[in-house]
Amino acid sequence: MTDPQILLAERVQQALGTAFGQEYATEDPLIRPSQFADYQANVALSLAKRLRRAPREVAQALADAIDRTDVTVEVSGPGFLNMTLSDAWIAAQSARQAGNERLGVPQGTPKTVVIDYSAPNAAKEMHVGHLRTTIVGDSLARVHEHVGDKVIRQNHLGDWGTPFGMLIEHLLDVGEAEALGRLAAGDGNAFYQEARHKFDNDRTFEERSRSRVPQLQGGDPATLRLWDEFIEYTKRYFNHVYDVLGVTLTDDDIAGESMYNAMLADVCDELERTGVAVISEGALCVFPPGFTGRDDQPLPLIIRKSDGGYGYATTDLAAIRYRVSDLKTDRILYVVGVTQSLHFQMVFAAARMAGWLHDGVSAEHVQIGSVLGSDGKMFKTRSGASVKLTELLDEAVSRAEAVISERYDDPALRKEIARKVGIGGVKYADLSVSHDSEYVFDFDRMLALTGNTGPYLQYATARARSIFRRAEIDPADVSGPILLGEPQERALALHLLGFGAAVEAVAETSEPHRLCNYLFDLAQAFTSFYETCPVLKAEDESVRLSRLSLSALTLKVLLQGLNLLGIEVPERM
């Protein structure tokens, strides 16, 4: 790890020990980026009261005790310690980072992390919100893998339950061949709506559908065959979307609701036997303490309906039990819409009551905010119908093509660039705002070539690449001492050192937007460097080599960072 904050924290802690006694050596030195120096330590202020000394005095004593090798320290204001790193230290760390194939990203103690994401429902509307959970979850999976965790992707497909009776009946009505063709083409939503319409308006269809459900759950072979086909063709469509998006999910990651069917009865038995669940109004319910509904009544988590059927709470509980006991996970991330917040709170609480979730395992709901249309409401087309995802992505690509420079008239090249820019722009838009906030879907903003966008980062990367293309040098071959003559060089090198910390923070907090912000700042620092510091035309050979190294390092970090976000980068733009 090359992060300067670590060095500074160690230095200050050491000084705390020598200045005030060893009991203070573990105090958080409160290192923060500073506008007056590279970093500042704020610990003197927070410690002053406990030491019963004036803050500035504490700061001075601390400053005097700090090992000043490669660091200048000065007391400032009411008791801040402004710390500036020597150019030599930064340059040395840069060289170290350049020589490190992990670019300064540490590998922690490996954990097993289950990441539950995407989870499209084969029987319900699928909209851009599903894209977002898929994209964010996929980035988290990539990041955890990169820091050394064992990642188990779990695509909790909505492939079971009441609506499937309806869908199977509709499939029979339409005819298998035609129905399956439509499903593979991504017409599942319309297919569902047709079925739903008949279900609501046609009594005999409704009855047929209802009687189909027990056959499905009971394992009737003819019904299962139809269900299998339905799911198979729906999966083809999902896989097509994943392919277009460049998402790492495969069929091996599918762990849909149907998978837990066989465990549900046992889940209920165990909960009932242990007294965690009780019968209420004919349904088997868990009443986790602290949850109340309307009229202050305890809020139930229904795990077996009064008609004997199971709902998604049962499935989710079965999944937790399975993930902890069979998958041996240390951490479960549920990358699911914010609207499910209450549901997950209750499921987690119930799982803790049952002892399935114990202190060694953390279950976290990574709440994904809703994607809104320009009207500020849930994203829909102008006509009010839900948007077909593939059409949305196609539009992103064709819009990207329209803004791509006319400098590329080779149609194949243009198309390839447009594809990466269009898809990358959509993905970056999902990743760059904090996952729990809503955001307004806006093609113009996410495909803009300036600002905190995917295309801007891709462009910065393409410019870095062009240096090496022009020089006919492989960035991987560049090495050499780094010299920090210009302020832009220093700022770039210093920012590069923070890469590892940024990646680590994403793994810890499940917030990919931190990495986006880091990369955006990096791209800006690089562009600024690029504008003011000629690389190939540098007057001095050692400066040229240094700048080449710096460019190579930047390029590698940008590529690695974008890869962790799941964003492809065209060779040129």
User: For residues 237-276, which are near RNA according to CB under 7 A?
Assistant: 257
Q: Strands 39-41 and 31-33, how do they pair?
A: antiparallel
Residues 145-204 within binding reach of RNA (CB under 7 A): 158, 160-163
What is 213-234 written as a DSSP string?
HHHHHHT-HHHHHHHHHHHHHH
Residues 54-83 within binding reach of RNA (CB under 7 A): 55, 76-78, 80, 82
Member of 13, 362, 386, 434 binding RNA (CB under 7 A)? 434
d(CA 472, CA 480): 17
Q: How far is the CB of 571 from RNA (least distance, A)?
A: 7
**By the rule CB under 7 A, 407 interacts with RNA:** yes
**Strand pairing partners for 84?**
72
Q: How far is the CB of 76 from RNA (least distance, A)?
A: 3
d(CA 508, CA 495): 20
**Strand pairing partners for 286?**
277, 301
**By the rule CB under 7 A, 402 interacts with RNA:** no
Query: If DSSP codes are grouped into helix, strand and coil, which group holds residue 254?
Result: strand
Stretch that binds RNA, among 7-15, 94-102, 356-364, 512-520 (CB under 7 A): 512-520
Residues 476-495 within binding reach of RNA (CB under 7 A): none
d(CA 490, CA 7): 18
Member of 21, 181, 451, 481 binding RNA (CB under 7 A)? 451
**By the rule CB under 7 A, 541 interacts with RNA:** no
d(CA 328, CA 71): 45
Contact 31, 8 (CB under 8 A): yes
d(CA 348, CA 301): 11
Stretch that binds RNA, among 17-25, 295-303, 478-486, 558-566 (CB under 7 A): 295-303
d(CA 307, CA 224): 22
Contact 29, 47 (CB under 8 A): no
Return the number of the residue (215 or 527) whose C-beta is nearest RNA.
Answer: 527
Residues 350-379 within binding reach of RNA (CB under 7 A): 370, 378
In whole angstroms, how far apart are CA 142 and each of 2, 129, 286, 365? 21, 20, 36, 18
Return the number of the residue (150 or 544) whose C-beta is nearest RNA.
Answer: 544
453: how many CB neighbours lie within 10 A of its CB?
22
**By the rule CB under 7 A, 546 interacts with RNA:** no
Biggest distance spanned by C-alpha atoms of the chain: 87
Stretch that binds RNA, among 381-389, 475-483, 494-502, 513-521 (CB under 7 A): 513-521
Return the number of the residue (151 or 347) whose C-beta is nearest RNA.
Answer: 347
Return the number of the residue (58 or 151) whose C-beta is nearest RNA.
Answer: 58
Q: How far is the CB of 312 from RNA (least distance, A)?
A: 4
Member of 72, 250, 466, 479 binding RNA (CB under 7 A)? 466
Return the number of the residue (150 or 443) whose C-beta is nearest RNA.
Answer: 443
